[in-house]
């Protein structure tokens, strides 16, 4: 009988990096390649919510049948690379967001609370109301929710 040493390996506790995409980003042509490249090259998972998908679908519906069909094709192509999340259990985050940013529209609050609940490090948007929030307050909010360096970044729509 062999008396070799037992080998203990440390569990691989790789922290998953996640970026949340709100509704206004989902119909940008640049979003799909960003999501795919981030997943493949940088191990960053994209997160979208039911609200983001619903808002984006509704917004595209008003742009005409051709743009609506193109949007749906883009979403179907993107879905294998994203994590779609609901809004259950965002009460704590929602309350804090409303306290700090009382003038923010309710849908923007839901997006922000959902990104925080999902432990995303970054929220991608083209919404100026979200982008112009005080960066120090946003970072502080992230820290209170246990997320280091949480931030909101603006996606450039001029390249579309």
Boundaries of every domain in the chain: 17-154
| pLDDT average, residue stretch 141-146 | 96
CATH code that applies to domain 17-154: 3.40.50.1010
Q: Give CA–CA dist 97/109, Å, rounded.
A: 6
Predicted confidence band of residue 156 (pLDDT cuts 50, 70, 90): confident
How big is the chain, counted in residues?
160
Taking the mean position of all CA atoms in its chain, how far away is CA 156?
Answer: 16
Q: Indicate if the pLDDT at residue 145 is higher than 80.
A: yes
Res. 7: pLDDT tops 80: no
| Band of residue 128 on the pLDDT scale cut at 50, 70, 90 | very high
Residue 71 has pLDDT above 50, yes or no: yes
Partner residues linked to 83 by β-bridges: 47
Per-residue pLDDT, 159: 55
pLDDT at 35: 95
Mean pLDDT value across residues 137-156:
95
10-59 confidence digits (pLDDT tens): 555 556 899 999 999 998 889 999 999 999 888 899 999 999 999 999 98
The answer to whether 155 and 25 have CB atoms below 8 angstroms apart is yes
3-state secondary structure at position 6: coil
Report if pTM > 0.95. Answer: no
What per-residue confidence (pLDDT) applies to 15?
Answer: 60
Which residues touch 68 (CB under 8 Å, ≥6 apart)?
60, 61
């Amino acid at each position: 009988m062999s008396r070799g040493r037992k080998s203990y390996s440390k569990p691989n506790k790789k922290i998953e990096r996640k970026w949340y995409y709100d509704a206004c980003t989902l119909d940008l042509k640049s979003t799909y390649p960003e999501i795919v490249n981030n997943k493949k090259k940088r191990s960053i998972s994209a997160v979208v919510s039911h609200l983001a998908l619903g808002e984006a679908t509704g917004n595209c519906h008003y742009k005409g049948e051709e743009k609506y069909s193109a949007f749906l094709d883009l979403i179907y192509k993107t879905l294998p690379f994203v994590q779609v999340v609901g809004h259950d259990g965002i009460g704590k985050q929602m309350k804090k967001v409303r306290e700090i940013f009382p003038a923010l529209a309710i849908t923007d609050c839901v997006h922000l609370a959902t990104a925080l609940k999902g432990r995303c490090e970054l929220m991608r948007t083209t919404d100026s109301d979200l982008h112009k929030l005080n960066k120090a307050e946003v970072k502080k909010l992230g820290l209170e929710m246990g997320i280091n360096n949480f931030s909101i970044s603006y996606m450039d729509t001029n390249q579309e």
